[in-house]
Amino acid sequence: MKFYIAIPVYKAEAFLSECVSSVLSQTCQDFEIVLVDDGSPDGSGKLCNEFAARDSRIHAIHQKNTGPYGARRTAIHFILDHGSPEDRAVFLDADDSLKPEALETLARCIQETGADLVFLGEDQVYEGKVLRPFPRDMAYIGTVTDRRQLYKIVFQAAPGGPPGILPRPLRRGPAAKHPPVPGLPEGGLPAGQPVQLHPEPQLRHQRPGV
């Protein structure tokens, strides 16, 4: 099982190095990174090329601006062309970073639960400091197979508080198209598809300022 890390890139020059470095530093090294430069006007595209030149596992794709969903769609097409049914796609934003054991945690979660889709929590950080940790005490943890329950957990915020789970998904291998919501199939979650909501936050999301 190989992980394909799909990263849309737009005006990400300030964060992209940290994002890519966090993937390269994973304890699980069986991955490839797909950087999609979505017509970024800053130096992000050049950075993508530099990363790709240094490591054969990193692929740089350049396109006209289509927005984050269009960039993810491009990454999905790349994965379909180069991956296998056993591989997994991980959606990561350019201002996110993975904790060192994130991919190892995902692999173990998939093996133990058989989940087709995994949601991870994230800590919100600024200049290396955690401003808002993932609210584990408010989050639903476990496996969900009912689509209505999943939508309620993912999208319905607790009164006066954060969402029950933050949408940073991993989905199983080839997908025909990227969905309107990252990680969810177009038309919704297929009935009976197991989805795992994991208790450990394995992502850090950069906040631009406070």
Write down the residue that tokens 């005006």 correspond to. 11
Write down the residue that tokens 């790709």 correspond to. 52
What confidence tens digit (pLDDT) does each residue in 80-134 have?
999 998 898 888 889 888 889 989 988 888 888 787 777 776 666 666 665 555 5
Residue 26 confidence (pLDDT) above 50: yes
The 31-38 sheet, strands edge to edge: 58-63, 31-38, 3-9, 88-91, 169-172, 117-119, 195-197, 142-144
For 209, other C-beta atoms within 10 Å of its C-beta total: 5
Check residue 180 and give its pLDDT.
Answer: 39
The 122-126 sheet, strands edge to edge: 96-98, 203-206, 122-126, 129-132
Higher pLDDT pick, 111 / 181 = 111
Distance from C-alpha of 48 to C-alpha of 179, rounded to nearest angstrom: 25
Q: Which whole number is the average pLDDT over 3-21? A: 94
Check residue 125 and give its pLDDT.
Answer: 64
Check residue 165 and give its pLDDT.
Answer: 32
Higher pLDDT pick, 71 / 201 = 71
Asked whether the beta carbons of 5 and 34 are under 8 A apart, the reply is yes
Distance from C-alpha of 101 to C-alpha of 202, rounded to nearest angstrom: 8
